[in-house]
Amino acid sequence: MTAPLASPLPHALKDAAITALIAFGLAAPMMGLVTVQVGGDLALEQHWDRVAWAVGIVFVGRLILNLTLWRPGRVRTKLAVSPKLEARLMKLARWLAPAAVVIAIALPFLPGIERYQIDLGILVLTYVMLGWGLNIVVGLAGLLDLGYVAFYAVGAYSYALLAQYFGLSFWLCLPLAGLLAAFWGVLLGFPVLRLRGDYLAIVTLAFGEIIRIVLLNWYWFTGGPNGITNVPRPSFFGIADFVSGKDGFAAMFGLKFSGLHRIIFLYYLILALALITNYVVIRLRRLPIGRAWEALREDEIACRSLGVNTVNTKLTAFALGAMFAGFAGSFFATRQGFISPESFTFIESALILAIVVLGGMGSQFGVAIAALVMIGGFELFREFKDYRMIVFGLVMVLIMVWRPRGLVSSRTPSVFLKEKKAISGALVQEGHG
């Protein structure tokens, strides 16, 4: 409808004036009045020029927006990706995923790659693995888990404590840490079986905090806030340690000793763990249990009417998701050599969840990209320490506006008769339950 409108100017001016008034209300106490210490007294300094600038910018900016972008009657172009572009991206992704794996394998030997880059690679891959693990719970089964870091902590402490008290090696503890984390996943699963959506999120959040606070306060056992130091480093599959001397890895393989060997080994270790996680998750998706998870996300009541045991289905989702976090946790402990409850705060859970949501729930490739962008980008802009959080938040908001279902939002069917067609994300239920 293009009915001739009255001049938009009066309305735009009025709106801008109101906004400027709000800006004045905010700026006057916060920017205009500054307390300074004069000798022993507190004095009030006035900076009305700053306030004037702020109010002026807001007024003019709002006026311009009102007359251009927010002009009444303006036809809005929708910010969306056309299906054609989407299909092309999907095709690209099919090539990109194997290419990414090849690059990841070759990374330590590429020119210009030093210790810092490999360390960063290890960090990114850890989050990729955690993202893939959480994807089972959130992306496939649709259970919103805000306490995922608890299982990461269980894995890390399992290894550190088993090594400290019983002297068990990393290779023995790795599967044990996974099993223990899975056990805790089931333990969390039981009380939250009947909860959905927001309530589930709150309880999982609390669970994450409980684990952290127990680790913090169980002083004699876990070392409390001091954490556990000297967590043993991994050996080369139990054959040789990464030390100098004639029993070391370097001597055994006829190499010159270098501290980098262990870093490269750790890099390949986490790469292998992440790829195993990916393989298992892709495999599980095509099995009855994976389909049951997705069906559970779509409609729990229909699931029950079809004889799907929703209790077991939910518990396996929690257990398997937790197991991969446990593996990642024990890797984290052996890499750092030191762990404390501080590494397992809520912000970690939020970060992993953000990776899964931004990447696209249920999409393995999207999660990997999101982890690379989030963790890598975070490190890359380390110099802009004060602004990176702002930029970060802005990027997240933009992605959620542009692609509310994450980077890769379409779903690939687990089985097909004639043709595998991607299912638009708009039809797929989101994980709220």
Partner 1 sequence: MTAAPADAPALPDDVLLRVEHLTMRFGGLVAVDDVSFDVKRADITALIGPNGAGKTTVFNCVTGFYKPTVGRLTLKKSAGESWLLERLRDHQIARRAGVARTFQNIRLFGGMTALENLLVAQHAPLMAASGMTILGVLGAPGFARAERAAIEKAKGWLERIGLIERADDPAADLPYGDQRRLEIARAMCTEPVLLCLDEPAAGLNPRESAELNDLLRSIRADDGVAVLLIEHDMSVVMEISDHVVVLDYGKKIADGSPQAVREDPKVIAAYLGVEDEEVEEVEREIEAAEGGPA
Residue entry with tokens 């990916």: 278
When the beta carbons of 225 and 288 are compared against partner 1, the nearer one is 288
DSSP 335-387: HHS-B-GGGG-HHHHHHHHHHHHHH-TT-HHHHHHHHIIIIIHHHHTGGGTTT
Cα 306-308-310 angle, rounded to 5 deg:
130
Q: How far apart are CA 131 and CA 152, in angstroms?
A: 12
Minimal distance, residue 178 CB to partner 1, in Å? 15
For residue 389, count other CB atoms closer than 10 A to its CB.
12
When the beta carbons of 336 and 429 are compared against partner 1, the nearer one is 429
Q: How far apart are CA 32 and CA 24, in angstroms?
A: 9
Minimal distance, residue 298 CB to partner 1, in Å? 4
Count of residues for the chain? Answer: 433
Minimal distance, residue 401 CB to partner 1, in Å? 22
Q: How far apart are CA 100 and CA 105, in angstroms?
A: 9
Minimal distance, residue 189 CB to partner 1, in Å? 16
Interaction site with partner 1 (CB under 8 A): 280, 283-284, 287-289, 291-292, 294-295, 298-299, 301-310, 316, 411, 413-421, 423-424, 427-429
Q: Which residues is 236 bridged to in the sheet?
A: 240
When the beta carbons of 65 and 186 are compared against partner 1, the nearer one is 186
Q: Which residues is 327 bridged to in the sheet?
A: none
When the beta carbons of 294 and 348 are compared against partner 1, the nearer one is 294
When the beta carbons of 157 and 293 are compared against partner 1, the nearer one is 293
Minimal distance, residue 363 CB to partner 1, in Å? 13
Minimal distance, residue 18 CB to partner 1, in Å? 44
Q: How far apart are CA 85 and CA 386, in angstroms?
A: 36
Cα 108-110-116 angle, rounded to 5 deg:
50
Minimal distance, residue 277 CB to partner 1, in Å? 13
Q: How far apart are CA 298 and CA 283, in angstroms?
A: 20
When the beta carbons of 23 and 428 are compared against partner 1, the nearer one is 428
Judging by beta carbons within 10 Å of its beta carbon (0-12, 13-18, 19+), is residue 153 exposed, middle or buried? Answer: buried
When the beta carbons of 209 and 294 are compared against partner 1, the nearer one is 294
DSSP secondary structure letter of residue 433: -
Q: Which helix (H) or strand (E) holds 46?
A: strand 41-46
Minimal distance, residue 369 CB to partner 1, in Å? 22
Q: How far apart are CA 195 and CA 190, in angstroms?
A: 10
Minimal distance, residue 297 CB to partner 1, in Å? 8
When the beta carbons of 345 and 414 are compared against partner 1, the nearer one is 414
When the beta carbons of 223 and 406 are compared against partner 1, the nearer one is 406
Q: How far apart are CA 262 and CA 337, in angstroms?
A: 13
CA distance readout (Å), 318 to 204, 311, 352: 11, 11, 15
When the beta carbons of 385 and 418 are compared against partner 1, the nearer one is 418
Minimal distance, residue 150 CB to partner 1, in Å? 24
Q: How far apart are CA 39 and CA 31, in angstroms?
A: 22
